[in-house]
Homo-oligomer: A and B are copies of this chain.
Amino acid sequence: MAEPAKRPPLMPLDEALARLLEAARPVMPFESVSTFEADGRVLAQDVVSGLTVPPRDNSSMDGYAIRIADGSAPGSVLRVAQRIPAGSVGVPLAAGTAARIFTGATIPEGADAVVMQEDTTPVASGDLDESQGFGTVRIDISPSAGQWIRRAGEDVKAGDVVLSRGERLTPAALGLAASVGCDRLQVARRPRVTLLSTGDELVMPGEVAPEAMKPGSIYNSNRFFMRALLMRLGCDVRDMGIVPDRREATIDALREAAETSDLIITTGGVSVGEEDHIKAAVQALGQLDLWSLSMKPGKPFAYGRIGEAHLTGLPGNPVSSFLTFLLLVRPFLLTLQGATRVSPVAVPMRADFDWPRADRRREFLRARRNDHGGLDLFANQSSGVLTSMVWGDGVIDTPAGQAFKAGDQVSFIPFASLLG
């Protein structure tokens, strides 16, 4: 029996993250996809606008395009000399006339304001049939120069970089790319990720009914949230299920996974006890670093390589596994795709509870925003308790050795920012 390690030195989380992100170079190859299908993907190109948006001054209201010089005071009456629907271009606006104009339609040359339909009164009857002319309109307000006109280039100018390489695409970004005419985008290939759970105590839901569970057995919950988290990250997920706690079975599964994966994620099997076969199996096939993270929940973590495949070994506890995924594996997968913003963004918030128990590890407390602009703590902060991750809407990032009191500012990481 090997000499058990005395409390190993803890690796700061930031150091672990820096090492992982370094290992994620070089990034994966890219591919061209339809802009329709690019949500959540990471851009491998700058998107440069080939046009100016809007291309010309246009109306932001249904109403009348006028010359201010013709009617700067309420009550002026103008002949409606033309009609410009969206998609059409009018003729230059003659002095003393107005143009009936619709939202999005190009402002005619000479016009310098739009008066909303609601701010006008038609003074000659007659419908808008061209054969009858367009009638006459009274302007009921005092228009100001430029009102209800959207200026050419207000959104984008030709040559502008509207989206940068390394940005992760959102619905709004897809809309912006489309608005400058991009129907296809160069993005990083989807990371291929294989999931492996280890632990003879694990049973799949559906295979054994709750009342028939053997002593010592627990349902595997990690596969479920891990797969969902990976899908939300746009990964190509393969789930190899639960690998028996035997060295040979573990080696076989890892070898197979390495052939088709950019990343293998294991849960369980990375703590210091000798019952875990993952370590030996990875070391037999490639290399593995075991880290004791200054992180609670979530101390044990492993990073390794098998051939071209990366491997991250996560702890088996559901909360530890969930948080190490969000704080380490997620940034790793984004970096692998060339993303430039990969780390969670914390917001300063007020704690509405005391936290007297400083831990030697950096601690992530599951908390929830309350209606008073502060944070409430989930009563049970045990790492086996997945209820805390459902009740909470984020974690408080508490530095190692730090206690705090109600009213203090703390650093809150909302889950919403990590689940997209």
| Inter-chain contact A386/B179, CB cutoff 8 Å | yes
| Inter-chain contact B387/A155, CB cutoff 8 Å | yes
A6: CB under 8 A from chain B? yes
* C-alpha spacing A183/B221, complex, angstroms: 10
Determine the chain B residues whose CB is within 8 A of the CB of A328 once the complex forms. none
Contact stretch, chosen from A53-61, A69-77, A249-257, A355-363: A53-61
Contact stretch, chosen from A25-33, A266-274, A305-313, A399-407: A266-274
| Inter-chain contact A271/B201, CB cutoff 8 Å | no
* C-alpha spacing A36/B86, complex, angstroms: 47
Determine the chain B residues whose CB is within 8 A of the CB of A369 once the complex forms. 345, 347
A112: CB under 8 A from chain B? no
| Inter-chain contact A104/B201, CB cutoff 8 Å | yes
Known: A102-B273, A184-B206. A54 touches B154 (CB 8 A): no
A318: CB under 8 A from chain B? yes
Q: Which chain A residues numbered 245 to 288 have a C-beta less than 8 Å away from chain B? A: 245, 271-275
Chain A 170-190, CB-CB to B under 8 Å as 1, else 0, gives: 111111111111111000000
Determine the chain B residues whose CB is within 8 A of the CB of A384 once the complex forms. 53-54, 60, 150, 154-155
Determine the chain B residues whose CB is within 8 A of the CB of A417 once the complex forms. 414, 416
Determine the chain B residues whose CB is within 8 A of the CB of A316 once the complex forms. 103-104
Contact of A225 among B150, B171, B204, B272 (CB under 8 A): B171
* C-alpha spacing A51/B128, complex, angstroms: 73
| Nearest-neighbor residue (CB-CB) of A322 within chain B | B172
| Inter-chain contact A86/B200, CB cutoff 8 Å | yes
Interface residue tally for chain A (C-beta within 8 Å): 123
* C-alpha spacing A215/B205, complex, angstroms: 61
Contact of A55 among B122, B215, B373 (CB under 8 A): B215
| Inter-chain contact A386/B172, CB cutoff 8 Å | yes
A125: CB under 8 A from chain B? yes
Determine the chain B residues whose CB is within 8 A of the CB of A127 once the complex forms. 1
Determine the chain B residues whose CB is within 8 A of the CB of A181 once the complex forms. 205-206, 208-210, 213, 219
Determine the chain B residues whose CB is within 8 A of the CB of A154 once the complex forms. 380, 382, 384-385
Q: Which chain A residues numbered 364 to 407 have a C-beta less than 8 Å away from chain B? A: 369, 373, 380, 382-387, 389-390
Determine the chain B residues whose CB is within 8 A of the CB of A348 once the complex forms. 373
Contact stretch, chosen from A14-22, A228-236, A332-340: A228-236
| Inter-chain contact B273/A62, CB cutoff 8 Å | yes
| Inter-chain contact A85/B35, CB cutoff 8 Å | no
| Inter-chain contact A206/B218, CB cutoff 8 Å | no
Determine the chain B residues whose CB is within 8 A of the CB of A345 once the complex forms. 369
A342: CB under 8 A from chain B? no
* C-alpha spacing A122/B6, complex, angstroms: 12
Other than the given A39-B232, A62-B272, A118-B272, 13 more pairs (CB < 8 A) read: A1-B122, A39-B228, A50-B210, A50-B211, A53-B384, A117-B273, A163-B390, A171-B419, A172-B322, A174-B225, A175-B225, A178-B219, A420-B420
User: What are 22 inter-chain pairs, A to B, with CB distance below 8 A?
Assistant: A1-B125, A4-B120, A36-B227, A50-B211, A60-B382, A86-B199, A87-B202, A88-B216, A102-B275, A155-B380, A155-B384, A162-B390, A170-B390, A170-B419, A171-B224, A172-B386, A174-B224, A175-B225, A178-B205, A348-B373, A416-B417, A420-B420
User: Which A residues are within 8 Å of any B CB, using their own CB?
Assistant: 1, 3-8, 35-36, 39, 49-51, 53-56, 60-62, 85-89, 102-106, 117-122, 125-128, 135, 150, 154-156, 158, 162-163, 170-184, 199-202, 204-211, 213, 215-229, 231-232, 245, 271-275, 316-318, 322, 345, 347-348, 369, 373, 380, 382-387, 389-390, 414-417, 419-420
